[in-house]
Structure 1
Amino acid sequence: MLTTSWDLRLRALIAFRDSEGRDPYFRASTPGEHRLAVWLDEQRKAARAGRLTPAHRAKLCEAGLLSEDATGHQRTGAAWLKVESISAFLEDEGRLPSLSSPATAGEKRLAAWMNAQLSSRAAENGPVRELREILAASQDSRDAPLARVG
């Protein structure tokens, strides 16, 4: 079986994640880690743009470096991380992040991002649609009667 430079880079990245327990950082002090971070970022960008081969996409998904939702769209990047954070916040706190009276600076940043996304006139992308679904679900749960108290 032919081993390509792409495969070698993937193996190096997997070995790094196994030994360090994290993805490589762009601002790493070691050049090797920085190169791995750049390579991973390039692969994720190629996947979002549809330029990644199905075989490479499958290998990245199998390694846990790329995830796909049920429709096949990529769920990587800062916007999806924010959506996941808002969903986790709602689950943990029972409410959406507050912009007017946040308990922490992190909550305020999440609330500001959420409000900016929801008030934006930009095209509805995957993260914004998911954010609207989370918002609708939180409204539905607040409007439901309190049938299970105690």
Structure 2
Amino acid sequence: KQNPIKYEVPRREVSDFVQFLIDEQVSDITNTGDVNEIGGIHPELTFQLVDYVKNGFNDKQKSELTKNFEVKLTQTGKNEKSIAYYHKLIDKLATKGHEFITNEASRLEKLISSDTIQMIQKRSAQRRLNILRSIKDEL
């Protein structure tokens, strides 16, 4: 890695190390294995998507937004699936409106609370739910 982050915390417990990773934005996983409340959220992308919704799903803005999200997707490897989800939301919100956020959030909450879901699927669902909540909070 080009710019390593030094771990200079006096305590050497797992929970301290996990908190260090979260603070340094290296990981969005808590010491319980869940995704924290900001995991998956990209404030800049949330703002752009909310602006698009508030402007009534303008076609010109949709084109620009799609381009911006595609560029962002190619520039980063971190949270790549989250960016792809933002990209997917452009069309979902345009075709299904605000109700999509409520319905999808409800579906994801049920999925997360399921006993049969694998941890990797649960984390993915938690990140998508965080994104939906961040958008809903701004609308």
TM tier, shorter chain? 0.3 to 0.5
With structure 2 as the length reference, what TM-score do the two structures score? 0.35
Structure of greater Rg: 1
With structure 1 as the length reference, what TM-score do the two structures score? 0.33
Higher relative contact order (CA 8 A, sep 6+): 2
